Chain A
């Protein structure tokens, strides 16, 4: 399976600290995306990084991609209690005709303690 694996599975930090979570995948990709899921809700897109990019920033988010190691990391700086959620990476490695198929990782559960 192409499914990614996030590491760690769970992370607990104090408000104001930085949170780093990692994603590893198995085959070559076109893009890698990160999503957030609040408890009991659907996933919300955070950021996309293309296979020819190494780093991308969006507000307090910083994403890196190392295609040689087939891994990505998501850094959330100056965390807030509202960042408490599960975070998933998703790769779209397969491009079938005009469609695209996503593979999601197993997620990192982040708890930010006020």
Chain B
């Protein structure tokens, strides 16, 4: 069964540093997403990406964040100048079609980001 992969599984960084979280979505999927989940809290939508541009973003996704699909396979989330409160699990997801319209999202295993 195809799956979404994410690297690294765990990233530790110091406050103020930049991190790049990487995802490889399922190959024939067209829609890509990033979510985060702070420990013990709900999954929060960050951004959706389609046709090489952001289609929607949440209030969380401010200028500190950016996404990119640098080649045909990877989908990255960059966090500039990390803060302590950025510590969370970050999930990448992809879907073949527009979610909510008779399709499902496939989630990756997540990257645990710890900012010290």
A complexed with B: no
Query: Which residues in A have some Cβ–Cβ distance to B below 8 Å?
Result: none
Interface residues of B (CB under 8 A from A): none
